[in-house]
Amino acid sequence: MELNRNHFFLIGLILLFLGLQFRMVDSIVLNGKTSQFIAKRLNKTSGQASADFTPSLMTSPPPVSRRTIRPPSWLGWMLISVGSVLVLHALAMPKPQ
């Protein structure tokens, strides 16, 4: 699939707005379900030994604290600059026919 002017413009706007969003927020707090999903993926070996000795009906999963993500400050500026270049590139391209 060949990218035309409209595709470049849309991708540029999305990156530009995403960069502005990252510049406005200081940190992102994930909800419990998402934090638990990430904890399962990152900690594959935790809880294996205790699960062998206790019945599964008696135990409940340990509470997972909410995970906080703090994006680096350069990420917002990078997305804004790449999005701006793509928008300007789209405006310089010929219109689709």
pTM value > 0.75? no
Rounded mean pLDDT of 70-97? 93
- 82 versus 42: the higher-pLDDT residue is 82
CB atoms within 10 A of CB 85: 14
Q: Is the pLDDT of residue 96 over 80?
A: no
Is 90 a residue whose pLDDT tops 70? yes
The residue with greater pLDDT, 55 or 63, is: 63
Q: Which of 2, 20, 4, 9 is nearest to 85 (CA)?
A: 9
